[in-house]
Structure 1
Amino acid sequence: MNSFATAYLPFDTVWKMRIDHPYSLFVREGSILWSCGQCPLDNQGNVLHPGDLLRQAQAVAGFIRRFLGDMQSQASSIGRLVVYYVKTAPGDANRLSDLFRREFGRSVQIMPVAVPHFYYEGMLIEVDVFASDEKVGDTRFVDEESGLTLEVSDAGPFVWATVSSSSTLGQNIGLRLNRLLALANLSRETLLAEQWFLPIGCDISDAGLSVDQCPALQNAVRVCDVDADVRAELTFAKAPVFVGRRTATTLDGDHLSISLRMAGDHFHMAAIDASPDRGLVEQTASIMKAVETVFADTGLSFRDVRKATTYYIAGSSADDLHDNMSVRNRYYERPGPASTGLPVEALLVPGAEISISLFGVMPRHGR
């Protein structure tokens, strides 16, 4: 396959959401594949096995295998699964990790993230898939004193890394993680994207790896399991990383911040609005408008986005998802990116109710 080939798996051919949307189930760009959140839904949008976490996880594993086949890829290409779930009992995270490793092998990075609820009654799980046909193995690095673990997988143009640490390590995570990154021949100068997941009561304000002015604090959410480990998903580029001219720019009275990093054929943008005078929908609108402006200034567009991830604070009704989703939808055209929207316990930036992460490809003439 041409390294620049783009393919989309349409959403509506399999599932029906309860709101019109311009997104794709899977998107392929060359050897890299991203998914939307894989849900335990039937083709009418009804929840499968309501209230049964492990049966839903098994159903989602089946969907992942099926859709990878539809994209001319294999389960062995999976590098990372981010498993969002509602905790139903102690040990759920370990049970889910074991289930997905049985399904897809030990070389897959499994990252369980507890969320407060989902938007459809009885739904307990949603899984993001990151895959590469150029994936090479998975290597673990462990800090023997603290147990902090770094898993690293070569994905072709990227290196995917996953961090896991006891929350008791707190502010010491940054120093120990940097040591493991050095062992893995990874450098913060090549970091393209980072997302942290912290249990309530744990802060790691100095652990951000970004070389620009956007620390981990702005790319972190609270998980619902107070006993959970600190976790992070990191993406390192093999090409040099350049910081956009408006990276970490504060707009609109110091409440809105955007980080843009570019490397080779790819970019990552993270945006957050912490205005106390705007609610969820208003913050969503201000972020999308600001992203549109930064895109225009840098020659990018929403057509270049391949994966969008949104974390927000809201109730458990479908309307809470649909209200902010409808704002985001207006900026995309079919076939759109793979998109995942997750309610979370909290964002770490005071006043923020939503953060948006966009991963995409640099525009090419004639595409």
Structure 2
Amino acid sequence: MQKQYASPAGHWQWAIPVHHKQGVRSGEMIWLGGQSDLGTDGTIRNPDSLERQVDGSLENLDRVLREFGADLLDLTKLLCFYVHDHGAGEIELLDMIAARLPEGARPAITAIPLPYLAYPGQKLLIEGYAMQAADGSRLPRKYASSSDATPLPAPFASAVRCGKMIFVSAQTPMLEGSLAYPGDIIAQTRQVMRQIGAVLGDFGAGFDDVVKINRWYVGQGKAEDFEPAAIACGAHFNEPGPAATGIPVPRHSLDGHLIKIEVVAMLGEDGTRLPRRHAWPESLWDWTIKLPYHHGLKCHDMIFLGGQVSLDKQGCAVDPDQMKPQTRQAMVHIGTILGELGASYADVCKLTTMYEGPTGLDAMHENLEIRSSFMPDPGPATTQIVFPALAYPGMIIEIDAFAMVEPDQA
């Protein structure tokens, strides 16, 4: 599919040469790489000030959107990573963002707390997804109304439907306005999945319509942290299921809160289920437990990949704790999956990279340069987030990829 790329004049750039761009448009979709309060010299403009970094991050998002003739009103989803250091909490962050969005903007939103981000003094990183008609007009939207969904401050929506796409905000386990089952990750997972099912039902959709699922669970990089909630979540999907990514975080914003889950679903605008193809190449890795997910999924013109890593078929790290070979292996897996679905690196619109390591640009550049080398120029939008640990011991990078190609012919 034809693509447009955005790297606005006067915008910040990476400190090393890369093929990535700040935004990519393909069809009605606009993919925005992670934006922070970075200046043209690539340094944080307002170190350690969350409120001022909200201003700068949204300003940068808006600048990229305007390169496509769009603006913040076209947003369908925001994903925010923020430093939780006993300063402003999640509700305060959401209120700050809400106050700076234009009237009429109602995106879905997910906020993930972390102990630090890549740049010194960085408090916030926001990536976004927007949709706009080919002629530049606003696309109509529908919003979930389920009372079972996690309460969010106005104007954020529990879920947004735009065309064939349904974006569901990360759900927190809530019952009657309070955190449900504190400290019990399996019960919390089941509660969150009930909420997601109710929200999808507002649009006539269900779990079989989910194309991508992200789990953000409390863990320290051990298989025993990953497995119980993964099994509880996977029980809601028939095989072959959606593409999936599961990332541990040190904590969520509330004591006893152990998991958040967000999904993307696709459904025909007339309410019919859209056909899809799945990919599991023979050369790829597997989890330590049986799960219904597939490494790649194509639905209409969209391709979603689960997080790609350097594991073997028994779920053990290959090249443990070595960033460069693990990055190369993850990128090779991405190319293999894309090829099985009739696509290539040139069709990728967005990469989201989660890596284990310390704060600082050296750690980020170690994998950024390799990821970029697999991409043609101009390349996809990208986001990179540093975590204290990932799902399995010795596994230190996980890369999500999203691509767009022409729909399969009937």
TM-score normalised by the chain length of structure 2: 0.78
1:171-190 aligned within 5 A: 171-173=189-191, 174-190=193-209
2:401 to 338, 352, 358: 358
Q: Is contact 2:212-2:304 (8 Å) kept?
A: yes
Q: 2:264 aligns with which of 208, 216, 235?
A: 235
2:245 to 215, 219, 226: 219
Q: What corresponds to 2:352 in structure 1?
A: 309
Structure 1 residues 140 and 96, CA, compared in 2 at 3 Å: closer, same or farther? Answer: farther
Shift of residue 66, structure 1, vs aligned partner: 2.4
- Match for 1:242: what amino acid? R
Report the residue type matching 2:146 in the other structure: F
Residue 81 of structure 1: CA displacement?
1.0
Contact 1:171–1:207 at 8 Å: present in 2 too? yes
Tell me, in whole angstroms, the C-alpha distance in 2 between the residues paired with 1:148 and 1:213: 32
How far is 1:69 from its partner? 1.9
Aligned to 2:136: none
Write the letter of the residue equivalent to 2:116: H
Decide whether the 8 Å contact of 1:10 with 1:23 is kept in 2.
no
Residue by residue over 1:44-103, the C-alpha shift from the partner in whole angstroms, topping out at 9 and shown as x without a partner, is 112111111111111111222222222201221111111111113254211111111122
Whole-angstrom distance in 1 between the partners of 2:404 and 2:148:
35
**2:143 is aligned with 1:138:** yes
SS in 2 for 1:251: coil
State the secondary structure of the residue aligned to 2:40.
Answer: coil
Residue equivalent to 1:337: 380
Amino acid in structure 1 at the alignment position of 2:262: E
Shift in alpha-carbon separation, 1:11–1:68, aligned structure 2, 3 A: closer
Distance of 1:337 and 1:109 partners within structure 2: 22
Other structure's SS at 1:62 match: helix
Q: Is the 8 A contact 2:31 2:349 kept in 1?
A: yes
- 200-209 vs 156-165, greater mean Cα deviation: 200-209
Asked whether 1:161 is paired with 2:168, we answer yes
Q: Distance in 1 between matches of 2:63 and 2:195?
A: 39
1:255-270 counterparts in 2 under 5 A?
259-270=295-306
- Tell me, yes or no, if the aligned pair for 1:11 and 1:24 is still in contact at 8 Å: no
In terms of fraction of residues, the more strand-rich structure is 1
**Partners in 1 of 2:167 and 2:26 — Cα distance?**
16
1:321 positional shift: 0.8
* Equivalent residues of 1:35, 1:129 under 8 A apart: yes
3-state secondary structure, aligned to 2:296: strand
CA contact (8 A) 1:193 1:234 kept: yes
Alpha-carbon distance in 1 for matches of 2:393, 2:238: 22
Q: Which amino acid aligns with 1:115?
A: L
2:142 and 2:287 map into 1 onto residues whose CA distance is 43
When structure 1 is superposed on structure 2, of 125-134 and 236-245 the one drifting more is: 236-245
Counterpart Cα distance in 2 of 1:352 and 1:155: 36
Tell me by how many angstroms 1:342 deviates: 0.7
What does the per-residue CA deviation read over 1:165-200, in whole Å, with 9 as the maximum and x for residues that have no partner?
Answer: 137342423345334433442222221111121234
Q: Is the 8 A contact 2:296 2:303 kept in 1?
A: yes
1:287 aligns to 2:330 (yes or no): yes
Provide the C-alpha distance between the structure 1 equivalents of 2:384 and 2:79, rounded to a whole number of angstroms: 13
**1 CA distance for matches of 2:340 and 2:277?**
14
Report the counterpart of residue 57 of structure 2 in structure 1: 60
* CA distances 1:265-317 after superposition (whole Å, capped 9, x unpaired): 11111223334341232221111112223333332100000011111111112
Match of 2:176 in 1: none
The Cα RMSD (Å) is 2.9
Preserved CA contact (<8 Å) 1:107 1:137: no
Structure 2, unpaired ranges of 5+: 133-138, 174-178, 220-224, 269-273
CA–CA distance in 2 between the matches of 1:112 and 1:354?
A: 21
SS in 2 for 1:8: strand
Distance 1:221 1:352 in 2: 12
* Paired position in structure 2 for 1:204: 229
Amino acid at match of 1:45: G
Is 1:17 equivalent to 2:14 in the alignment? Answer: yes
Match of 1:38 among 35, 43, 50: 35
2:24–2:30 Cα contact (<8 Å) kept: yes
Distance 1:100 1:148 in 2: 16
Asked whether the equivalents of residues 304 and 362 of structure 1 are also in contact (C-alpha less than 8 Å), the reply is yes
Deviation at 1:8, TM superposition (A): 0.8
For 2:189 and 2:118, how far apart are their aligned partners in 1? Answer: 34
Indicate the percent of aligned positions where both proteins have the same amino acid: 18
Relative to structure 1, the CA distance from residue 59 to residue 254 in structure 2 (aligned partners, 3 Å threshold; closer, same or farther) is closer
Alignment gaps of 5+ in structure 1: none
Counterpart CA distance in 1 for 2:318 and 2:402 is 28
Which residue is 2:135 aligned to?
Answer: none
Q: Does residue 1:191 correspond to 2:210, yes or no?
A: yes
- Equivalent-residue separation in structure 2 for 1:238 and 1:326 (angstroms): 37
**TM-score, length-normalised on structure 1?**
0.86
